[in-house]
């Protein structure tokens, strides 16, 4: 697979769109040539990518620079900080979903079979959301000590 070509196409596609932070979409700044390989913070080396594009670009870079320890270690065990999660959450507030995306999600759920559970304490039946108020948390639970 030609990872370089895919990476270049991804970056070029993002560059051709007029993306700006604060336009209602969530973007992350990406270094086209990674800093660990001599890239800098100049405008020509930076591009705004969506979260998904950014994640994919780093997977592609790992494939491109396979065997180079620096790039592989930059994303090992990387998890988002609370601040980062809040940033994503805040950027999506007020986001309006299209009718098409709502219908697509709804159709997905309609085709999914839900497991019916029965609470052993009160014998109420329902889906997996019952765990919040039933089973170990049920009001009718009798403590057997």
Structural domains counted in the chain: 2
**Nearest to residue 60, comparing CAs of 39, 97, 32?**
32
Say yes or no: 26 and 71 in one domain: yes
Burial of 140 (0-12, 13-18, 19+ CB in 10 A): exposed
The owner of tokens 């051709």 is: 16
The pLDDT score that the predictor gives to residue 145 is 42
Domain of 129? Answer: 111-145
Residue 84, CB-side half-sphere exposure with 13 Å CA sphere? 7
Q: Is residue 38 located within the same domain as residue 69?
A: yes
* pLDDT 10s digits, 89-132: 777 777 677 788 778 877 777 777 778 889 888 888 888 788 77
Mean pLDDT of 39-67: 88
88 and 35 inside one domain: yes
Q: Is residue 7's pLDDT more than 80?
A: yes
How far apart, in whole angstroms, are the C-alpha atoms of residue 31 and residue 45? 6
Same structural domain for residues 127 and 78? Answer: no
Within-domain flag for 88: yes
Count of residues in the chain: 145
In a domain, 18, yes or no: yes
For the chain, give the mean pLDDT: 81
What gap in Å lies between CA 112 and CA 27, rounded to an integer?
32
Mean pLDDT of 20-39: 86
How far lies 120's CA from each of 97, 128, 132, 137, in Å?
39, 14, 14, 11
How far apart are the C-alpha atoms of 87 and 80, rounded to whole Å? 10
The predicted structure's pLDDT at residue 1: 81
68 and 15 within one domain: yes
Q: What is the pLDDT of residues 37-51, one digit of tens each?
A: 888 999 999 999 998
Helix ranges (DSSP H) in the chain: 3-16, 51-64, 69-74, 82-92, 99-110
Residues 80 and 140 in one domain: no
The mean per-residue pLDDT over the stretch 6-26 comes to 90
Residues 61, 128, single domain; the answer is no
């Amino acid at each position: 697979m030609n990872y370089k070509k895919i990476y270049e196409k991804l970056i070029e596609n993002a560059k051709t769109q007029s993306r700006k932070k604060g336009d209602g979409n969530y973007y992350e700044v990406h270094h086209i040539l990674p800093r660990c390989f001599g890239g800098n913070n100049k405008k020509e080396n930076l591009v705004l990518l969506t979260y998904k594009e950014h994640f994919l670009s780093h997977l592609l870079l790992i494939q491109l620079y396979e065997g180079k320890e620096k790039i592989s270690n930059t994303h090992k065990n990387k998890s988002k900080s609370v601040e980062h999660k809040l940033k994503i959450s805040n950027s999506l507030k007020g986001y309006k979903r299209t009718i098409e995306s709502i219908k697509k999600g709804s159709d997905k759920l309609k085709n999914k079979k839900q497991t019916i559970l029965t609470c052993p304490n009160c014998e109420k039946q329902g889906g997996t959301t019952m765990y919040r108020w039933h089973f170990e948390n049920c009001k009718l639970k009798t403590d057997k000590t």
